[in-house]
């Protein structure tokens, strides 16, 4: 009877370890990290041209410019004017909520001192605000039916 209990406890332990490995073993492969501009500049040597990574920061106001083939803007570590910043050439679709001063995560690679991205994720807060009501008058002269 003691042998049976020992085998049952050992079997349950092995199953628990296997389930833990299956659930949490590959967790690091699924986590998505991004570098701030300050970190990306400091680790530029670790990410040679062509090696993809994610860069996250704030879009510097007044830096965005539509260019042939995409959008160019500056991503800074924070909203202060002297914070570390990187020029981004984005060639993919631009997120609808993209605007100056908003947090953004772009994925791409270095090309010299410029970061070239093709994927963009815009950060936003959890507060929904409906659009402001229109102040234009209602159309007149139509049939009210």
Whole-prediction pTM value?
A: 0.66
Domains of the chain: residue spans and CATH: 33-122 (2.40.50.140)
Distance (Å, rounded) from C-alpha 89 to C-alpha 116? 5
- Residue with tokens 């929904």, as numbered in its chain: 128
pLDDT at 3: 73
pLDDT tens-digit profile, the chain (145 residues): 677 777 777 778 788 777 777 666 665 555 568 899 999 999 988 888 888 999 999 999 999 999 898 999 999 988 788 889 999 999 989 888 888 989 999 999 999 889 999 999 887 666 666 767 766 555 555 555 5
What is the b/e burial string over 20-59, where b = at least 16 CB atoms within 10 angstroms of the residue's CB? eeeeeeeeeeeeeebbbbbbbeeeeeebeeeeebbbbbbb
Model pLDDT, residue 113: 87
> 68: helix, coil or strand?
coil
């Amino acid at each position: 009877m003691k042998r049976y209990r020992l085998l049952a406890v050992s079997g349950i332990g092995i199953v628990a370890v296997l389930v833990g490995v299956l659930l949490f073993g590959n967790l690091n492969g699924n986590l998505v990290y991004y570098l701030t501009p300050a970190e990306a500049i400091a680790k530029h040597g670790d990410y040679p041209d062509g090696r993809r990574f994610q860069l996250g920061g704030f879009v510097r106001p007044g830096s965005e410019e539509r260019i042939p083939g995409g959008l160019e803007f500056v991503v800074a570590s924070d909203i202060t004017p002297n914070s570390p910043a990187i020029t981004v050439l984005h060639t993919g679709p631009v997120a609808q909520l993209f605007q100056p001063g908003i947090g953004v995560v772009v994925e791409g690679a270095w090309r010299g001192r410029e970061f070239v991205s093709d994927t963009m994720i815009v950060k936003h807060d959890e507060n929904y605000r409906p659009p402001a009501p229109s102040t234009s008058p209602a159309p007149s002269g139509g049939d009210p039916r």
